[in-house]
Amino acid sequence: MSLGEKIIQHIQELPESKKAEVLDFVEYLRNKTEEGNWSEFSLSSAMKGMENEDSTYSLKDIKEPS
């Protein structure tokens, strides 16, 4: 059995929530080995799961430095 086949076998036995974690990690590794796009990947990782959250800040909270 190849390494890829072993990985697939183990992943298939995981619950869906853990499969999602594996996917996140695989995407992280793939992006880590590819050149470029780190800033986009980092931002998307930092904001993951926050797309539908209400903001506690408004435009009134933005202040320019003096």
What is the pLDDT, as a whole number, of residue 30? 85
**Residue among 55, 35, 31 nearest 44 (CA):** 31
What is the pLDDT, as a whole number, of residue 36? 60
Confidence at 2, pLDDT banded by 50, 70, 90: very high
State the helix-helix crossing angle for 38-47 and 16-33, rounded to 10 degrees.
160
Domain ranges for the chain: 1-34
Q: Which helix (H) or strand (E) holds 1?
A: none
- Identify whether the C-beta of residue 28 lies closer than 8 Å to the C-beta of residue 45: yes
The 10s digit of each residue's pLDDT in 3-61 is 999 999 999 999 999 999 999 999 888 877 766 655 666 777 777 777 777 878 888 88
Residue located via tokens 């986009």: 40
